[in-house]
Structure 1
Amino acid sequence: MLILQRKRNQSILIGNEIELTVLEIGADQVKLALTAPRDISILRKELVEAADINREAAGVGSLNALKKMIKKEEAE
């Protein structure tokens, strides 16, 4: 894990195409701006985790697991 310190209006670059800029710094939160190509998915981690939990509760561990289940049924 890389840990960086940035001040308001400072940025970091990830590769050549992704820029992360600190917009505001508050007492218990930081407002960030991300600039990236449209083909790069940017998701909040808690939403991805919630989706994973929902899939597990529905009996589908992951999209890959679902695809394997479908292929197995088609083979039978």
Structure 2
Amino acid sequence: MLVLSRKPGERILIGEEIAVTVVRIGPNTVRIGIDAPRDMNIVRDELCQTVEVELPVENNGKASAQ
């Protein structure tokens, strides 16, 4: 895992299409903004299990986001 330090307003670039911006740092939370293509699915980790359950099963039993 790559760990980086950023200040509010600073960005991290992932590839050519994704930018993560630190919007605000609070006492217990960090607020981030993500600029990415609209077709890219971005989900908070704690919601991943819910998303996997709701996806229709296709392609030989594998979940598909389409």
Question: Gapped runs of 5+ residues in structure 1?
Answer: 56-61, 69-76
State the alpha-carbon separation in 2 of the partners of residues 11 and 38 from structure 1: 19
Q: Which has the higher strand share?
A: 2
The amino acid across from 1:10 in the alignment is E
Aligned pair count reads: 59
1:74 is matched with none
Residue 29 of structure 1 pairs with residue 23 of structure 2: no
Residue 11 of structure 1 pairs with residue 11 of structure 2: yes
State the alpha-carbon separation in 2 of the partners of residues 20 and 52 from structure 1: 22
Q: Compute the TM-score of the two structures, normalised by the length of structure 2.
A: 0.76
Question: Gapped runs of 5+ residues in structure 2?
Answer: 62-66
User: How high is the sequence identity, in percent, across the aligned residues?
Assistant: 41
Measured on the aligned residues, the alpha-carbon RMSD in Å equals 2.2
Does the residue aligned with 1:23 lie in a helix, a strand or coil? Answer: strand
1:1-76 aligned within 5 A = 1-49=1-49, 51=50, 55=53, 63=57, 67-68=60-61
The amino acid across from 1:5 in the alignment is S
Per-residue deviation, residues 19-69 of structure 1 (Å, max 9, x unmatched): 0000100000000000000111100110113x178x4xxxxxx936xx53x
* Bigger radius of gyration: 1
Q: Which has the higher helix share?
A: 1
Considering Cα pairs closer than 8 Å and 6+ residues apart, tell me whether 1 or 2 has the greater RCO. 2
